[in-house]
């Protein structure tokens, strides 16, 4: 196996042949925290997450357990397959199979794909890092079940997503989560891989509301209705004491 590096950015560049841009480098180097990545479509969210997981799998010891949570078991398997491919590129041969949602590295580190339901998440092992891909579409129940698997032991959370309206835990943590979260907003206008011509064509093709959500990283209400969903959400309060009946 090739000589590895402790720096995940150098690992990505020299070992995986992946050239992360400035934003991706910052994400890779600051995963030891609570991180929210609000990024446009095709920014490279899944690739960045897989590179981070592969680095931990190849270089980590037995106490390194990366948990992958996505909206479906199929998506988790796809990410593990990408992690497996990257680990092989690094000269490591993971034990296990991505289709079984479990990979083990040469030093005992593991990457575990979680099911999409709250009940399946509850049976997962404790982890040191929880990666939530397409977080805006992961159910609140699955998120709440997965959190203690890492937070109880002082682990980290990296939630990556394109917005999906003003709803769900990703939106709440982004807008109300406070200073415990490190936040990155990466619209397509700040991504060097998108030309102005492409973005103009996409805006015309999909319409302004969808473009603002998918490419400008705005939590846009796309479901229609008389009132915007964010108005309805703001009309509710959770600090009202329960009604006591005589």
pLDDT band per the 50, 70, 90 thresholds, residue 231: low
- For 20-82, list the strands marked E by DSSP: 34-39, 65-69
Average confidence (pLDDT) over 59-70: 94
Average confidence (pLDDT) over 50-56: 94
Closest by CA position to 121, among listed 150, 151, 143, 99? 143
Q: Which residue has the higher pLDDT, 224 or 159?
A: 159
**pLDDT at residue number 1:** 45
Q: What is the pTM of this model?
A: 0.85
The interaxial angle of helices 45-59 and 73-89, nearest 10 deg, is 60
Average confidence (pLDDT) over 97-105: 80
Averaging pLDDT over each range in 206-215, 218-227, 235-244, which range is the top one? Answer: 206-215
Number of other CB atoms surrounding residue 174 within 10 Å: 22
Gap between the Cα atoms of 148 and 155, Å rounded: 9
Residue 142, burial from CB neighbour count under 10 angstroms (0-12, 13-18, 19+): buried
Query: Do 28 and 20 touch, CB atoms closer than 8 A?
Result: yes
**pLDDT at residue number 100:** 72
**pLDDT at residue number 199:** 95
pLDDT band per the 50, 70, 90 thresholds, residue 116: confident
Range 8-193 has CATH code 3.40.50.300: yes
**pLDDT at residue number 131:** 97
Average confidence (pLDDT) over 1-16: 80
- Compute the radius of gyration of the chain from its Cα atoms: 19
Residue 72, burial from CB neighbour count under 10 angstroms (0-12, 13-18, 19+): middle
**pLDDT at residue number 228:** 54
Query: Do 47 and 38 touch, CB atoms closer than 8 A?
Result: no
């Amino acid at each position: 196996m090739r000589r590895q590096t402790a720096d995940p950015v150098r690992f990505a560049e020299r070992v995986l042949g992946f050239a992360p841009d400035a934003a991706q480098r910052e994400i890779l180097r600051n995963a030891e925290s609570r991180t929210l990545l609000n990024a446009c479509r095709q920014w490279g969210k899944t690739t960045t997450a897989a590179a981070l997981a592969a680095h931990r799998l190849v270089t980590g010891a037995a106490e390194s357990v990366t948990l992958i949570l996505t909206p479906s078991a199929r998506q988790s398997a796809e990410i593990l397959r990408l992690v497996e491919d990257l680990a092989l590129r690094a000269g490591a041969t993971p034990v296990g199979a991505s289709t079984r949602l479990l990979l083990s590295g040469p030093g005992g580190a593991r990457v575990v794909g979680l099911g999409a339901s709250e009940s399946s998440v509850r049976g997962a092992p404790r982890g040191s890092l929880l990666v939530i891909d397409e977080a805006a579409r992961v159910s609140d129940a699955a998120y709440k079940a997965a959190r203690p698997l890492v937070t109880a032991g002082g682990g980290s959370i990296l939630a990556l997503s394109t917005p999906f309206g003003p709803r769900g835990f990703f939106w709440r943590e982004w807008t109300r989560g406070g200073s415990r979260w490190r936040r990155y907003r990466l619209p397509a206008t700040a991504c060097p891989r998108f030309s102005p011509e492409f973005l103009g064509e996409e805006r015309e093709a999909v319409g302004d509301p969808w473009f603002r959500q998918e490419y400008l990283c705005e939590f846009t209400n796309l479901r229609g209705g008389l009132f915007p969903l964010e108005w309805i959400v703001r009309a509710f309060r959770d600090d009202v004491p329960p009604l006591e009946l005589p």
